Amino acid sequence: MKKNKSWLLVIGSFLILGGIGLISYDYYSNMKLNNQEEQAIEEFYSIEEIEEDIIEEPQKVEEVKEQVKINYIAVLKIPKINLERGLVDPNSYLNNVNYNLEILDESAMPDQKNGNVIIAGHSGSARISFFRNLNKLVIGDEVFIDYKNNTYKYKVVDIYDIEKTGTAEIIRTKNKSTLTLITCRHNTNKQIVVICEQV
């Protein structure tokens, strides 16, 4: 009987240590990714400053970009929900909701007149749930996109829910430059669509 108890104690100890090890590994991996992403945002702004300083030498800008592992082309900022997130080129494998915020195929870019920038992201509690607080936005809140040395300012003008079917009906004013943010309403079969107009 004592032998069985000691074996159970040993096995239990290994299981507890293994669990602590897995949790620690996950925590430090996420911390490392967060630090890399924060550094990539800083480098995005540094590259914009370099581009302004050395417009006559574009090869230097490309040399700096090659040194950046995560190459952001823009940064989305939503002050109300404390979100500042880099956006990658739509052709990058990282342009996927399972890695980052995703610029959808149908999307325009902020500098396109009367275009619609469409960005999707996960809600929930995972590390990649960058739109977890999107449901806290209200009409009138401000959203910004830094892109090609310009800051584009938007205001939320409409928020509505749709059924989660894999497609989203976007209701917007066609003769205005807009930004559409889409995420799932957590623990439901609905999606939230946030329409913002450029100001």
What was the pLDDT predicted at 191? 95
For position 53, what pLDDT does the model report? 46
The CA radius of gyration of the chain, in Å to the nearest whole number, is 22
Q: Partners of 115 in the beta sheet?
A: none
C-alpha to C-alpha distance for 102 and 197, rounded to whole angstroms: 19
Domain 73-199 matching CATH 2.40.260.10: the answer reads yes
Range scoring the smallest mean pLDDT among 108-112, 126-130, 147-151 = 126-130
With a threshold of 0.85, does the pTM exceed it?
Answer: no
How confident is the prediction for the chain on average, in pLDDT? 83
Sheet with 150-163: list strands edge to edge: 83-88, 72-78, 142-147, 150-163, 190-198, 178-184, 116-120, 102-103
List, for residues 94-123, the tens digit of each pLDDT value.
899 998 999 999 999 999 999 999 999 999
